[in-house]
Amino acid sequence: MADESNQTDRSNQESERDEDDFYALDPSAVARIIYAVDIGDRERLIAEMEPLHPADIADLLEQSNAFDRRRIIELYGPEFDGDILSELDESIREEVIGLLHPEVLAEAVRELDSDDVVDLVEDLEDHQQEAILEVLEDSDRVAVRQSLTYPEYSAGRLMQREVVMAPEHWNVGEAIDFLRNQDDLPEQFYHIILVDPRLHPVGNVTLGKLMGSRREVMLSSLVEEMFHIIPVTRDEGEVAYAFNQYHLISAPVVDENDRLVGVITIDDAMAVLDEEHEEDIMRLAGVGESGINDKVFETTKARFPWLAVNLVTAILASLVIAQFEVIIAQFVALAVLMPIVASMGGNAGTQSLTVAVRAIATKDLTGSNVWRVIRREVLVGLVNGLIFAVVMGIVGMLWFGGPALGYVIAAAMVINLVMAGLAGTVIPVLLEKAGVDPALASGAFVTTVTDVVGFFAFLGLAAVVLL
Amino acid sequence: MADESNQTDRSNQESERDEDDFYALDPSAVARIIYAVDIGDRERLIAEMEPLHPADIADLLEQSNAFDRRRIIELYGPEFDGDILSELDESIREEVIGLLHPEVLAEAVRELDSDDVVDLVEDLEDHQQEAILEVLEDSDRVAVRQSLTYPEYSAGRLMQREVVMAPEHWNVGEAIDFLRNQDDLPEQFYHIILVDPRLHPVGNVTLGKLMGSRREVMLSSLVEEMFHIIPVTRDEGEVAYAFNQYHLISAPVVDENDRLVGVITIDDAMAVLDEEHEEDIMRLAGVGESGINDKVFETTKARFPWLAVNLVTAILASLVIAQFEVIIAQFVALAVLMPIVASMGGNAGTQSLTVAVRAIATKDLTGSNVWRVIRREVLVGLVNGLIFAVVMGIVGMLWFGGPALGYVIAAAMVINLVMAGLAGTVIPVLLEKAGVDPALASGAFVTTVTDVVGFFAFLGLAAVVLL
């Protein structure tokens, strides 16, 4: 029970800390760890690391610089746990694996469940992947290799292969006796999956119902109302959606013949949901796959393409402006005001597209409501456009004297905010139809529209009204 | 067993549909439902709705227009399930509650667990809240009222009050006998929580371990290694983070005297994680709390403040431009090129701030690595700035003849992309320190910096070089 008292102590310590920082690494603990490394005191390092969860140790390694990381790993030595590797961000996982002594690595990997090993090796380069597969026991290696034959990001990669199942004709007593005689039940399981003679899953019984029922009750009378079967090739993002939508706790995975081959549990689905969200946010911001731990070169490389796309759209907008050089030279106030129209359009467009992209991801934007949503966004653009038109019309008049410039910027504002609502909804929907991830590409397209329309409407109207 | 075969049929049907659309509502099913409503055929409507999960029915109601929504609810009548209310988006929940016959509403609400009722009523207006509380049984009403005394978005609102616990000195046999004699075990539970005589939780035993052990084994020897206690006032976002970070399945909740008062399970944590992400994405895009189902008026109101802030920052940028009217009048090319520098800076700043905001949310950006991250972002800005400086320098030269304009835009590009990296990291970090949600406010500040710096650097350098 030593472990809980540690945990309780820790939460008491935590309660004295800043309300938002319970689960962030304690800076003084980090300082003590670095001190232990500085003086090369292995006992002290181990003692300091002891209360940390593997996920916290992984965070510590991620937040350390490469020099400290190497020193911590070398001093920590054989204490290094396989779970730390699982928790590590991919960007430094290869580096850490390279730092581990081969025997420590072998020991760490052998502790892991086969699904964690799959997660660990799938992104490694071939020679590191082989090095890890070699140290596994034969049966584990076969299991891992088989999982790797399923497509990346599929249910097959996500599932555990250890399944607790029972024939559908068993009663509670038979199931309990069976469980008692099993030597290697999985670490975590919540349901017994009932299967028919051809190994097709037909229902789930929770362990709670099993424990609360008399021995002679048939398992088939205890099955959960919600039972959801997942094909082994299904995309993990769809799996996470199903868990979230239907409040699943675990779900059986079947092969192409509908035979039970594994089980996915909610903790794995939650991790995927988290990753998918992260990906959406990063894609919406044009940051690609990069994270906080990437090196300068990787980060530059990941962000460059989005900036390059933006440069092209910015040049496009400049070409529009260039058509109006004559009138700008005459009325420099146009140059002063024109970025306002484009900027407001860009912001309104980003608002619309973000709502649309999220609604597509959560399957809330479908054929049956797309026209209503488009109409709503256009109306919102119109109303906000009219309000800001009045504001900017007055600003324009006061700033530059005379009403003409006020009318022009007001009209351009309305036009651009309506276009922003329209483009911000239609573009993600069309991209999705075309099979392109709307989170990835909508931003560039929508901004191009609002920049081009904004500059063209403002300068074009100015040319008509002022000349 | 009727229910599973339905589910299986459904997944077979699904496999014929588009790879991305398994879990989206089937448009033909929606059409059949609307047809049943059109002809007023209650039997047919019930039959069409039968295979749908309450979450799917909620989606159907959300995606229908107000007219169809009313007709569906009226015809569906007493079949209306409490879980549908729980699944409904807040934006239309009040409307739907208003449409339900009082008796149907009472019946629907009585079916729900107390934590679901809390979730349902906490956002309702007072008179609707009272109407629902009145129909509850006395014990449930007391439980719901007590939950409502905990702060909004706290662990106390999220937890279930039904807890399965056992004294720490029991053995497996005593626990099993106890469970068998319980009449009302919670629908879903995965652990037995061990408590000391003062009702302090001291450990978790999984049902799987309980089933797999002999009767005389002490419960205290079976406790899980990972055990995490949550104070009842802790923010639900922090709770979700802990579940995700430490792979918790369920966690006991304690009051200020460390006494067990409830339990939070991973499915609730997953729902919170999903909401928190949604909120982050919406805040980053300046969309406030609005969603796809809001009406035009609410949506306009939610988005207006962000556009107003953007207008102020855009006017600030215009004031910078206004300082250079004289030189713009002389060299109109400056007006053509200046939006490019600002736009590139805005994009690079958004990239940096998104990475920083996410890293703060996941507690990966802390005091121990903040300087390294800032240095990294500035370097990335410098490298990308240099590359785009060369590109734009050449474009500027070719487009407008003569090298001077090329030098100016190149230098301004480098300056602005470095500033973007710096502001994109420092601003979220400072906002977080000041207790402001960085997702909410970073965008406006960072864009202001990149606009102002972009225009000032470009036009200022131009004034020096060209005049």
Residues in B touching A387 (Cβ below 8 Å)? 304
> For residues A232 and A259, is the Cβ–Cβ distance under 8 A?
no
Stretch A305-309: mean pLDDT, rounded?
Answer: 91
For residue range B159-169, what is the model confidence (pLDDT) as tens digits?
988 899 999 99
How far off is chain A from B337, nearest CA to CA, in Å? 6
Chosen from A310, A328, A365, A379 to mutate, greatest number of chain B CBs within 10 A: A310
Q: For residue B29, with 0-12 CB atoms within 10 Å meaning exposed, 13-18 middle and 19 or more buried, which class applies?
A: middle
A-chain residues within 8 Å CB-CB of B325? Answer: 332-333, 335-336
B-chain CB neighbours of A247 within 8 Å are 55, 267
Ramachandran angles phi, psi of B214, nearest 5°: -75, 155
What's residue A347's pLDDT?
Answer: 93
A278 in contact with B at a CB cutoff of 8 Å? yes
User: Which residues of B fall within a CB distance of 8 Å from A367?
Assistant: 27
Name the CATH code of domain B296-466 (choices 1.10.357.20, 1.20.1250.20, 3.40.50.720, 1.10.40.30).
1.10.357.20
Report yes or no: B191 and A208 within 8 Å, Cβ to Cβ.
Answer: no
Can you tell me the mean pLDDT for A81-96? 88
Start-to-end CA span in chain B (Å): 85
Query: How many Å lie between the alpha carbon of B72 and the closest alpha carbon of chain A?
Result: 15
A216-265 pLDDT, tens per residue? 999 999 998 889 999 999 999 999 999 999 989 999 999 999 999 999 99
Q: Which of A153-157, B74-78, B115-119, B122-126 has the highest mean pLDDT?
A: A153-157
CA B268 – CA A75 distance, rounded (Å): 40
Residue B227 to residue A4, Cβ atoms within 8 A = yes
Q: What is the mean pLDDT of residues B245-260?
A: 93
Check residue B291 and give left, alpha or beta (phi > 0: left; psi -120 to 50: alpha).
beta
Q: Look over chain A and give the mean of its residue pLDDT values, rounded to a whole number.
A: 88
Say how far apart CA A275 and CA A239 lie, in whole Å. Answer: 13
pLDDT band at B13 (very low <50, low <70, confident <90, very high): very low
pLDDT of residue B389: 94
CB of B20 less than 8 A from some CB of A: yes
Of B48-62, B77-91, B113-127, B350-364, least confident by mean pLDDT is B113-127
pLDDT tens-digit profile of A95-123?
898 898 888 888 888 888 878 888 888 88
Asked whether the predicted pLDDT for residue B150 surpasses 80, the reply is yes
Q: What is the pLDDT of residues B76-96, one digit of tens each?
A: 988 898 899 989 988 888 889
pLDDT at B128: 82
Confidence at A290, pLDDT banded by 50, 70, 90? low
CB B413 within 8 A of CB B385: yes
Q: Answer for the pair A194, A223: CB distance below 8 angstroms, yes or no.
A: yes
Q: Is the pLDDT of residue B14 over 80?
A: no
- The helix or strand, by DSSP H or E, that contains position A338, with its residue range, turns out to be helix A333-361
CATH number (1.25.60.10, 1.20.1070.10, 1.10.10.10, 1.10.340.30) of B25-149 reads 1.25.60.10
- Which residues 6+ apart lie within 8 Å of A466 measured at CB? A327, A330, A331, A404, A405, A408
- Considering only CB atoms, which chain A residues are within 8 Å of B300? 380, 383-384
- pLDDT at residue B1 in the model: 37
Rounded mean pLDDT, B292-321: 89
pLDDT in tens, B177-225: 898 888 778 877 889 999 999 999 999 999 988 888 888 999 999 998 8
B296 contacts in A (CB within 8 Å)? 376, 379-380, 383
Question: Quick one: DSSP state of residue A258?
Answer: S
* Predicted local distance difference test score (pLDDT) of residue A196: 95
Overall average pLDDT of the B433-437 stretch: 90
Distance from CA of B292 to the nearest CA of A (A): 7
Assigned CATH class of A2-149: mainly alpha
The yes-or-no answer to whether B165-266 and B296-466 have a common fold is no
Identify whether the C-beta of residue B364 lies closer than 8 Å to the C-beta of residue A274. no
Surface of B (364-403) touching A: CB under 8 A = 364-369, 372-373, 376, 379-380, 383-384, 387-388, 391-392, 395
Give the Cα separation of B41 and B44 in Å (integer): 5
Instruction: Tell me if A23 and B241 make a contact (CB, 8 A cut-off).
Output: yes
Name which of A448, A461, A460 is nearest A349 in CA terms.
A448
Q: Considering only CB atoms, which chain A residues are within 8 Å of B241?
A: 23
Domain boundaries, chain A: 2-149, 165-267, 296-466
Q: Name the token pair of B350.
A: 């958004």
Which is higher by pLDDT, B289 or B191? B191
Which of A273, A282, A347 should we substitute to test contact with B (largest number of B Cβ atoms within 10 Å)?
Answer: A347
Higher model confidence: residue A409 or residue B226?
A409
User: What percent of chain B is predicted at pLDDT more than 70?
Assistant: 95
For residue B262, the model assigns a pLDDT of 92
Residues in A closer than 8 angstroms to B376, CB to CB, are 295-296, 299
Residue partners of B268: CB distance under 8 A and separation at least 6 = B115, B158, B159
Task: Report pLDDT for B11.
Answer: 41
Mean pLDDT of B136-147: 87
Task: Output the CA–CA distances (angstroms, integers) from residue A409 to A341, A403, A420, in the order listed.
Answer: 7, 10, 16
Of A231, A249, A313, the CB nearest to B267: A249
pLDDT tens digits along A311-351: 999 999 999 999 999 999 999 999 999 999 999 999 999 99
What is the number of CB-based contacts under 8 A between chain A and chain B? 398
For residue B389, give Cα distances in angstroms to A310, B306, B324: 14, 32, 22
> CB–CB of A288/B365 below 8 Å?
no
Contact A86, A120 (CB under 8 A): yes
Q: Is domain B165-266 classified as CATH 3.40.720.10?
A: no
Query: What is the structure's pLDDT at A4?
Result: 39
Question: What average pLDDT score do residues B23-38 get?
Answer: 87
pLDDT tens for each residue of B401-425:
778 889 999 999 999 999 999 999 9
- Percent of the residues in chain B that have a pLDDT greater than 90, as a whole number: 54
CATH topology for the A165-267 domain: CBS-domain (3.10.580)
Q: Given B1, B22, B27, which is nearest A368 (Cβ)? A: B27
B301 — contact with chain A (CB < 8 Å)? Answer: no
